[in-house]
Amino acid sequence: MATSQVSMFLNVLVTASLLYLLPHACHSLSLKPCSFDSIYQLGDSIADTGNLIRESALGATFCSQFPYGETFFKNATGRCCDGLLIIDFVALAANLPFLNPYLQREADFSNGVNFAVSGATALPSSFLASYNIVNPFTNSSLDVQLRWMQTYFNSTCTTQKDCAVKLKNALFFVGEIGGNDINYALLQARKSIEDVKTTLIPPIIRTIKDAIAKVISLGATRVVVPGIFPNGCLPVYLTGLKTNEMTAYDELNCLRKVNNLSMYQNDLLQQAIRELNQETPNAVIVYADYYNAFLSVFRNGALLGFDASSLQKSCCGIGGDYNFDQARFCGSPGVPVCPNPNRSISWDGIHLTQKTYGLISQRVVLDILPKLQCILSK
């Protein structure tokens, strides 16, 4: 076996052993050197801990019913997962409580607030509508979440200086966001990949860049900005853009052009982060590589305990080659759930299982900890 193969194999074994006891594993991946006392999250369903279900009647049906939450909470909380999300694992690593959603007005926000909304886009609904793209779930795009954040800080800080002091040891997550803009364009509006690349991705990146600058102006000094996943590996895309053209798929049986689009968006996002780090030397902005963290799990699925025969199938779903049907979504009457979500990468065809999110969190925390420069700032 070549040296590189041995190294990869050992890395997988170590990762698998560290994560065997999920969700407790992220305690071993501690963010304690940073001494974070709060976390503030902007984003979409990858991070929403209960805002959409409180926002609208539609939210009361999306990710709000059992079997969502079955693995950890034993009931649906508004998380689009069978259990914990990446931000939950990050909170565990920082030794902080799980973040309460902003719209849970009676909640305790002493350790941070989650402003993320399932279905949210980076671009405002009005902008998307000008391209005949409709968000069917929420109008709480990134600009709306930023207004919520500013309103919250206006109510808890007496002055800008007071906010800077209170947020000195806070961690901010701006995203993952911008994935839904692409989802709605490709899967609903049926835009071409080239059209999305030229007309949507540049304004998405500008919007996210402006949002990062905004949170820094509010007092953030440590900001994590995740990229999007390789969407071409997800059941929703594999079903919605299924083709008989074999060259459309890569060596992992993922849609090649969709993944290339995700990489392009992530590359532009990283460029924007580099520019902002030069423009704002008093803050540290770190890219979180969700794309390659997911691929690491996907490539080594069998070694990590996933069912090798159903790596691209939904655990909770029905129909077709990928166990996914948009018209009969997880939680709908008659839609079955796999007996062990820990054997599946995908939970409902769009979102991932708790185990997958835990594995991704493992890699992300290891990657961002030194880049956050916490020890140097003490």
d(C-alpha 202, C-alpha 195), whole Å = 11
CA angle 187, 191, 192 (to 5 degrees): 110
d(C-alpha 197, C-alpha 261), whole Å = 7
Sheet containing 222-226: order of strands: 112-114, 38-42, 170-174, 222-226, 284-288
d(C-alpha 67, C-alpha 81), whole Å = 9
Contacts of 195 (CB under 8 A, 6+ apart): 185
| Residue 101, phi then psi, degrees to nearest 5 | -70, 145
**Per-residue exposure over 196-230, b if at least 16 CB sit within 10 Å of its own CB, e if not:** bbeebbebbbebbbebbbbbbebbbbbbbbbbbbb
Helix axes 354-371, 3-18, angle to 10 degrees: 110
Q: Which amino acid is at 199?
A: T
C-beta separation of 67 from 330 below 8 A: yes
Does the active-site annotation cover 24? no
C-beta separation of 138 from 120 below 8 A: yes
Q: Which residues pair with 202 in a beta bridge?
A: none
Q: Could you tell me whether strands 222-226 and 170-174 are parallel, antiparallel, or unpaired per DSSP bridges?
A: parallel
Of the candidates 118, 296, 346, 351, the residue annotated as catalytic is 351
Does the active-site annotation cover 314? no
d(C-alpha 107, C-alpha 105), whole Å = 6
C-beta separation of 196 from 184 below 8 A: no
Q: Which amino acid is at 366?
A: L
Of the candidates 38, 45, 140, 296, the residue annotated as catalytic is 45
Of the candidates 125, 296, 348, 361, the residue annotated as catalytic is 348
Does the active-site annotation cover 45? yes
- Active-site residues, by number, are 45, 348, 351
